[in-house]
Structure 1
Amino acid sequence: MAPIAVAPTTDTKFLTNLKTSVVSPQPNTLHDVIAQAVHRYPLHELGFITSSAHDSSIQTKTFSAFNQYVRNLARAMLEWRKPTGSVVIVYLTEHEDNMAAVWACLLAGYVPCLQPALSAQQTHKEGHVAHIKNLFGSAIWLTSEISAEQISTISGLDVHLLSELKASVEKFSVAPDWVAHKAKPDDDAILFLTSGSTGFSKVVVHTHRTILSACRAKGQSYGLTSESRVLNWVGFDHVAGSLEMHITPLLYGASQLHVHAAAILADPLRLLRLIDEKSIELAFASNFLLSELTRDLVKRTDLFGCFDLSSIRRINSGGEATVSKIAQAFVVMMKKFSKNPSAVSFVISPGFGMTETCAGCIYHPVDILATEPAHEFLDLGRPINGCEMRVVDPADGITLRPDGESGELQVRGSMLFVRYYNNAEATSSSFVEGGWYRTGDFGLIEDGVMRLSGRIKETIIYSKKLDTYLQTADGVTNSFLAAVPYRAPGQETEGFIIFYSPTFDLDESDASAKLLATHQALRDISVKMITLPPQIVIPIPLSQMERTTLGKLSRARLISLFTQGQFATYIARAEELLSQARGVSFVAPSTETEKALAKIYAGIFNLADSEVSASDNFFEIGGTSIDAIRLKREGEEHFGVPDISAIQILKNPVLSSLAKYVDSLLSKGTQTEEYDPIVPLQLSGNKTPIFFVHSGIGEVLIFVNFAKYLLNERPFYAFRARGFDAGHPYFTSMDEMVSCYTAAIKKTQATGPYAIAGYSYGGVVAFEVAKRLEAMGDEVKFVGLVNIPPHIAPRMRESSGMLHLSSFLGLVAQHDADSDLAPPLRPLTKQEQLESVWKMAPPERIVELQLTLEKLDKWVDLAGSLVDCALDYNPSGSVAALDVFYAIPFAGTKADWLNNQLKPWSGYSRGEVSYIDVPGEHNTLMDIEHVSQFQKIFRSRLEARGL
């Protein structure tokens, strides 16, 4: 790195030896990589800024000096008298120390395993170390004095200090090409620990071959040359820091500057200074750092035009999703701070990778200003050379998904890890036929470009969006918030806790009001984003927010401290303040929109306007599905907007929240939102949630009355078919619908046991979703099918979608639809059929539903699309258990319906099927007059299944 001054070496014999040594032009091992770098570019440099550096002072070593240092270090390691292939756990903090230790291990014939910072929580730390001991047996720990103190209470460890090893180096001066053991391409090279978010870490084994394959392809993707200059601040214990930002540039002879994360996080502007001073071309910045930089830069208008940023060509971004708007804002700021804005031209390259793939293996470099992003988060792109990707049906792991359809993301290629250390079962279960690795992510590929759409194995709170949006809440210190999964003792489903540092002092006079507002905002964002509220929100000091290698908050440490009761004082103080704030429960509507909605609420519930609070929840104070339609109709009339979405009423039942939605309509007009199949109708309670699939009309309002009975018992999520809103296409197949709904369930509730039900048509969809979940290894304890037989295709072929919908909506009587209306309507055009039904419909029902001929037409098309999805449906396979609820059918007797149509479900259950008689007719069992009895029966079956 030319701008970094360094005295040239005076060891002419050393340089002569390097020039005459034989080095393969295509390295086959990591030994060859360092030898080639020193042979070709002896004066290129490695620079380091330590965690303790308060300025930009850089410690440097030329490639040749570093080479000599690590080979002498490797020779000193042999004094340990350990056999070749022994594992050395490298537990260090500074980049240079980690880098030297890893290379020394490799050259000494040992296998380094990079250990991230251990938890400060004693129990978790001891458990992890015991796990490592069990995996490796007699592994050496190479560490510093401070880190050795952390593990001093754990007996049986073979601990060696790096400082002592360095001191012994003076006794050795080996040749610049010395190695203790000549490695082979398929020898184990470096071990990496996974995050261990679902338990103790697995150990990923990478060979010389897998690492070199990845590094060659990465370098090609980055456009690296020997003249490139790279800046890295990711910890060396992470694959991105060690492989992507060190070994890859070393392979191409590029100079490198490694900065401890603390130095960048303490002063994000240092990144710009270093780009300027050191002519950096390639750097790394996660989304949170881009956000942090942008926020800081906005405040520093005094530095506009102060930096030469023309050298930067690419910024890789990983570790979390990159928000398009943040990336755009960052580039705009970079131009403003540049001395020559027109000379600033670089790409931001989000990527996908894992420890198992040597970090990034899929990239999408994009000029963020020249190309408007198509999505909220930047696409992840195309595979590097030697890597392949595909999206498959998660049920079988092999059936390819069509272009643009979500499924399980799989990758394969020469950069994939070879195994999990001492864990054959985990290794085997991670691959399917053909060498495809199951990443555990949902993704989709369009025109060869991949983007993620969720996690298969993780809980929803790992959603890339959630933390980003929670950060926007007033009262949250930027970048100091983490939503962490948590399952309380005895709790059947996993929830989550929000830890954050408030921007205000909890001892301020108005702290209680600020805290209440912040907690309400965090809850509202959570419900809107993932349809789940947090179990608890805990405000804690900044000092407790420990960060990981990638600069993200340490979730493992936070949850450990919580379970040990270390946050009890903060929780108690928060509850005290919140109780004060709730002392006056009534919140007077303040804006004109809130006041108008309060008047509508009052009219619906026969209250005085002054009795309605801005914090009132429409459904908690007695609202029904019919009331919601009335609220929709009266709201549209009062505010003069064409459509207040009924779904938005369900998602924003609190008056103040609904007012904000109405305000957004008034200011921006109706906007198309991303399709979300799940509508949360009830979110309180700790019992296993119930997921209910819509009937053949696709809508969910019919479930509102039922959901209210589960208040404070269990969440109720309803599926709404795709296609009601403009810009959302109808489903084209049963498989597409089932895949979409399965992914949505996993996104909402990451792990089982699951409870799924379906009303009418939705019953077969629920059955297929349950099968899909079981195929993924999940437990489905309850599958409830409401008045639907397994063989629906014949009924679909015979039914009139328009009459079925019309009767379900109460526009025509069911008897008329079946006998009198079907024959005369059949030969008419669709428009003529619509007009005929419209004339027969009771005017008060049309007003109640707020239907127009156009809306009915669209609804008929949507219902017809659901019919089309079932025309070729034939049930197969089985689930663990089935509960079939039957009511009076459309035609025939109840006994015939049960014995001839419903009993065949017994062939699709591995356990005994329960057939349960429920009150009402097919179309009315969810109505107010029947639902009170139905819900009692339904809930009793849930309890009978252990839920």
Structure 2
Amino acid sequence: MAPVAVAPNTTTEFVTNLKTYVVSQQPNTLHDVIAQAVDRYPLHELGFITSSAHDSSIQTKTFSALNQHVRNLAYAMQGWGKPTGSVVVVYLTEHEDNMAAVWACLLAGYVPCLQPALSAQQAHKEGHVAHIKNLFGSATWLTNELGAEQISSISGLNIHLLSELKASAEKFAVAPDWVVHEAKPDDEAILFLTSGSTGFSKVVVHTHRTILAACRAKGQSYGLTSESRVLNWVGFDHVAGSLEMHITPLLYGASQLHVHASAILADPLRLFRLIDEKSIDLAFAPNFLLSKLTRDLEKRTDLFGCFDLSSIKRINSGGEAVVSRTAKAFAAIMKKFNKNSSSFVISAGFGMTETCAGCIYNPVDVLATEPAHEFLDLGRPINGCERRIVDPADGVTLRPDGEIGELQVRGPMIFVRYYNNIEATSSGFVEGGWYRTGDVGIIENGVMRLRGRIKDTLIVHGVSYGITELETYLQTADGVMHSFLAAGQDTEGFIIFYSPTFDLDGTDASIKLLATHQALRDISMEKTTLGKLSRARLISLFTKGQFAKHIVRSEELLSEARDATFVAPSTETEKALAKICASIFNMAESEMSASYNFFELGGTSIDVIRPVYLLKREGEAHFGLPEIPSIEILKHPVISSLANYVNALLSKDNQTEEYDPIVPLQLTGNKTPIFFVHPGVGEVLIFVNLAKYFQNERPFYALRARGFVPGHPFFTSMDEMVSCYAAAVKRTQATGPYAIAGYSYGGVVAFEVAKRIEAMGDEVKFVGLINIPPHIADRMHEIDWTGGMLNLSYFLGLVSKHDANDLAPALRQMTRKEQVEVVWKLSPPERLVELQLTAEKLNHWVDIAGSLIECGKDYNPSGSVSAVDVFYAIPLRGSKSDWLNNQLKLWSSFSRGEPSYTDVPGQHYTLMDLDHAPQFQKIFRSRLEARGL
């Protein structure tokens, strides 16, 4: 054993209790990792760019220098007099300081606990520190002067300054293999705090064994070697920054560059400069940083093609869902700045503090491979990790492939327990060592994706929404810089907190704020360094009135904006409708403007049909009208316009209006409109919920069959229907490109309309065919009047699928009138009221559906369109695979371009209902974007 070297000009001191240190081929502890790195790659470097660096200067340390530095610090720590195994809370900001402190604690026999930035709210900060102190039974903190000042008001803490520890360590030059405590694989190594998004943090215990298991498998997944170069700008207090981007590459001898996030955010081009200059091949960036970089860098067109980014092999992204559009946009920006032609792999990953960060990854070249979903898939687990999807109710029953459930993981990288929290540890695991992540996920064909946290779910009008998912959408609204949602446990309501991009004291602030609030409402009906936030803390601050002044100012500006556009109802009809709307939408009658759009009052709710029917029912009762058709309310959404229509009804002007198949369901947005052809029942109300998801994005028009209005004859042939619809589309949108889709029977009509429009010389870039094969004639011949009535009744929710099948034989022995009476008696009364349906209307509706069946009996598809996008769900009969391979894929013969076949959740009659519309719209919109729309 070599003695301690005596540093020049320092106090002479000999170090006792030294232990020899042997580097093994396979490190068993973190002590082995740093010793191996120094032994094999002493001159490999660690680079650091601090938060205060205003230029490109990089401070460097070789592995050998780091080793000497941290062992000197560890020796100096012995002066604290703490017993082996004591917990030290490390509260520092710079990567280099955190790194040195963690290694020093480990080598001194202490257990470091990495503390993220403390809250600026004094009460929350004091509560958190007290919580941590109580958990550990002690309060030893290692921090800098600023950190010490932040916690100086909290009594009972044993605070040590890193600057003083460094000064003390300068007196020593211990042997490069000195260590005070010989660690064992199952000793506690590093403690991490959970995000605490629902309250105070839990403390996750990782041992040497769990950390090394994770690091070995990660390095294999990343393809790390001693020649690799890693760039990290996630805080070291996070498992991604410390384990994934430091200890993992150190295990493989890879060089590292750690950059404070503020240095990149202040100058986004610095990221590309560093990749270029340092030949970086692995980096990490969460979704929100990818998004910000894209926004900032796309303005620098002057530097396109100025950087060599060909070295980068992979960018890991985690901590929050990675939006496919964001990943593609960032990769596209990298491609524009790159001198050479390269592929850019963005690897969305799943991981938690409890799993040593990422344990499931999906590396993909997002520009070469079109993402299948709105958020990037999370792929497959690293070596040693297993995952499964189970029923969240019991936590053990496996879900079939493709079905949603609770995600559970297990493997040697999973944490061992929550510190001093037996209850949380016990409830976190089920039999077999499976850890309950609390996430809702799907595994399909071996590939995993998430739907959100079990607890971070809002239920609005009976539909579940992931908070993370909604937050992502909220930040797409103009005027919103950052947004977060918070919700109470016993209410369907939620609160949106956001930072505006504009000055609230600006001259046009009121108009901008009103537009932003409208956009947020539309979208709704649809952070630490990793973008996380304590929602519990937001709720607490809100209830304590901490946001009162902001709310008051907001209301003043909104009132100003409303007054500028307010038009008082003038006619008796306008006043009556305004009063009805005020009651429906819980507004003061004095607030109702004759220029208000029904959808802007709250009709943008995901369940928009209920307000429509309420307005219909209340209007009919008030004006003494036998009927105000629901479809006319949708066609006349402005109060003054609806008043004119009602006045026409009151004047008993029975002149039949000219038939127009176009029903505008959503008129905002600048993107290419979408035209949706009705299913076989002829009606378009099924699209109303779907249309609302396109608010502020693109207009949404539906094509309704002829025959609902008295005096309008049914269609008599497919050609007549297609000619009518093609002409209507051209009247509504004069020039292309066009986007046309059809649901069920409407799919073949949409295909023919697209063909007709192409024959006129216009471009149709999207033809969406939803769960319908090209050959329908045989199916049309199978459906008689009874079958048509039962199909319609099931479609409307009047009877169950089981009842429809059981009733068919008996009903066929009855007259039409008797059949309608049977179905009528079986129908839920509340559903009949909701639909404002009578037996006569049901009978007429069946005739409309029958006329469409007759039009399809002689249909034989021919010709082609530019490309088709086929969406398939569980069919009416048979398996989904047979349906896809033997019937739907026949569309390939009618597509000149590469067709796409996309799986959507639900069954044939349910894929657009309230349970499935949220998922369907995401998938549908992604295909529109994939076609350049």
TM-score (norm 1): 0.65
Counterparts of residues 415-814 of structure 1 (less than 5 Å): 415-460=413-458, 463-477=467-481, 481-487=482-488, 492-493=490-491, 495-527=493-525, 529=526, 547-550=527-530, 558-559=538-539, 561-583=541-563, 586=566, 613-614=596-597, 615=600, 619=611, 622-623=615-616, 627-629=629-631, 636-637=661-662, 642-643=677-678, 645-650=684-689, 660-662=699-701, 668-671=738-741, 726-727=770-771, 798-800=806-808, 812-814=820-822
Tell me, in whole angstroms, the C-alpha distance in 2 between the residues paired with 1:494 and 1:637. 35
Tell me, in whole angstroms, the C-alpha distance in 2 between the residues paired with 1:160 and 1:808. 89
Distance 1:795 1:659, change over 3 A: closer
8 Å contact kept, 1:229–1:282: yes
Distance 1:486 1:807, change over 3 A: farther
8 Å contact kept, 1:350–1:378: yes
Which residue of structure 2 aligns with residue 689 of structure 1? Answer: none
Distance 1:484 1:638, change over 3 A: closer
Tell me, in whole angstroms, the C-alpha distance in 2 between the residues paired with 1:349 and 1:863. 31
Amino acid at match of 1:150: Q
Tell me, in whole angstroms, the C-alpha distance in 1 between the residues paired with 2:874 and 2:361. 40
User: Secondary structure, in 3 states, of the residue corresponding to 2:386?
Assistant: strand
Tell me, in whole angstroms, the C-alpha distance in 2 between the residues paired with 1:228 and 1:563. 51
CA shift at 1:232, angstroms?
0.3
Matched, 1:87 2:131: no
Aligned length: 677
Tell me, in whole angstroms, the C-alpha distance in 2 between the residues paired with 1:376 and 1:319. 17
Counterparts of residues 857-896 of structure 1 (less than 5 Å): none
Tell me, in whole angstroms, the C-alpha distance in 2 between the residues paired with 1:380 and 1:548. 22
Distance 1:167 1:657, change over 3 A: closer
Counterparts of residues 335-374 of structure 1 (less than 5 Å): 335-340=335-340, 342=341, 344-374=342-372
CA shift at 1:261, angstroms?
1.2
**1:230-261 per-position Cα deviation (integer Å, ceiling 9, x unaligned):** 00000000000000000000000000000011
CA shift at 1:809, angstroms?
13
Counterparts of residues 128-527 of structure 1 (less than 5 Å): 128-340=128-340, 342=341, 344-460=342-458, 463-477=467-481, 481-487=482-488, 492-493=490-491, 495-527=493-525
8 Å contact kept, 1:381–1:450: yes
Which residue of structure 2 aligns with residue 532 of structure 1? Answer: none
**1:872-922 per-position Cα deviation (integer Å, ceiling 9, x unaligned):** xxxxxxxxxxxxxxxxxxxxxxxxxxxxxxxxxxxxxxxxxxxxxxxxxxx
Tell me, in whole angstroms, the C-alpha distance in 2 between the residues paired with 1:802 and 1:150. 80
Distance 1:297 1:808, change over 3 A: farther
Distance 1:308 1:793, change over 3 A: closer
Tell me, in whole angstroms, the C-alpha distance in 2 between the residues paired with 1:449 and 1:514. 42
8 Å contact kept, 2:523–2:693: no
Distance 1:656 1:345, change over 3 A: closer
CA shift at 1:313, angstroms?
0.6
Which residue of structure 2 aligns with residue 28 of structure 1? Answer: 28
Amino acid at match of 1:642: V
**1:556-582 per-position Cα deviation (integer Å, ceiling 9, x unaligned):** 665554444333222111110111112
Tell me, in whole angstroms, the C-alpha distance in 2 between the residues paired with 1:56 and 1:515. 39
Which residue of structure 1 aligns with residue 780 of structure 2? Answer: none
Tell me, in whole angstroms, the C-alpha distance in 1 between the residues paired with 2:225 and 2:873. 56
Tell me, in whole angstroms, the C-alpha distance in 1 between the residues paired with 2:469 and 2:850. 37
Tell me, in whole angstroms, the C-alpha distance in 1 between the residues paired with 2:686 and 2:195. 38
8 Å contact kept, 1:459–1:485: no
8 Å contact kept, 1:404–1:445: yes
8 Å contact kept, 1:807–1:814: no
- Structural RMSD (CA): 4.1
Q: Which sits farther off after the overlay, 236-245 or 452-461? A: 452-461
Amino acid at match of 1:473: A
8 Å contact kept, 2:820–2:843: no
Amino acid at match of 1:485: A
Tell me, in whole angstroms, the C-alpha distance in 1 between the residues paired with 2:660 and 2:347. 45
Tell me, in whole angstroms, the C-alpha distance in 2 between the residues paired with 1:570 and 1:321. 30
Tell me, in whole angstroms, the C-alpha distance in 2 between the residues paired with 1:199 and 1:856. 62
Tell me, in whole angstroms, the C-alpha distance in 1 between the residues paired with 2:138 and 2:855. 73
TM-score (norm 2): 0.66
Distance 1:656 1:195, change over 3 A: closer
Tell me, in whole angstroms, the C-alpha distance in 2 between the residues paired with 1:67 and 1:441. 39
CA shift at 1:655, angstroms?
13
Amino acid at match of 1:375: H
CA shift at 1:204, angstroms?
0.4
8 Å contact kept, 2:677–2:742: no
Which residue of structure 2 aligns with residue 910 of structure 1? Answer: none
Distance 1:645 1:134, change over 3 A: farther
CA shift at 1:46, angstroms?
0.7
Which residue of structure 2 aligns with residue 757 of structure 1? Answer: none
**1:589-616 per-position Cα deviation (integer Å, ceiling 9, x unaligned):** 9xxxxxxxx9xx9xxxxxxxx9563345
8 Å contact kept, 2:115–2:192: yes
Tell me, in whole angstroms, the C-alpha distance in 1 between the residues paired with 2:64 and 2:534. 37
CA shift at 1:372, angstroms?
1.6
8 Å contact kept, 2:743–2:770: no
8 Å contact kept, 2:319–2:531: no
Tell me, in whole angstroms, the C-alpha distance in 2 between the residues paired with 1:567 and 1:211. 42
Tell me, in whole angstroms, the C-alpha distance in 1 between the residues paired with 2:743 and 2:824. 38
Tell me, in whole angstroms, the C-alpha distance in 2 between the residues paired with 1:474 and 1:385. 43
8 Å contact kept, 2:316–2:347: yes
CA shift at 1:49, angstroms?
0.6
Which residue of structure 2 aligns with residue 107 of structure 1? Answer: 107
Distance 1:225 1:656, change over 3 A: closer
Amino acid at match of 1:484: L
Distance 1:647 1:513, change over 3 A: farther
CA shift at 1:862, angstroms?
11
Tell me, in whole angstroms, the C-alpha distance in 1 between the residues paired with 2:809 and 2:315. 53
8 Å contact kept, 2:244–2:357: yes
8 Å contact kept, 2:29–2:209: yes
Amino acid at match of 2:615: G
8 Å contact kept, 2:186–2:207: yes
Distance 1:556 1:800, change over 3 A: same
Residue identity (%): 69
Tell me, in whole angstroms, the C-alpha distance in 2 between the residues paired with 1:30 and 1:148. 29
Which residue of structure 2 aligns with residue 830 of structure 1? Answer: none
User: Secondary structure, in 3 states, of the residue corresponding to 1:60?
Assistant: strand
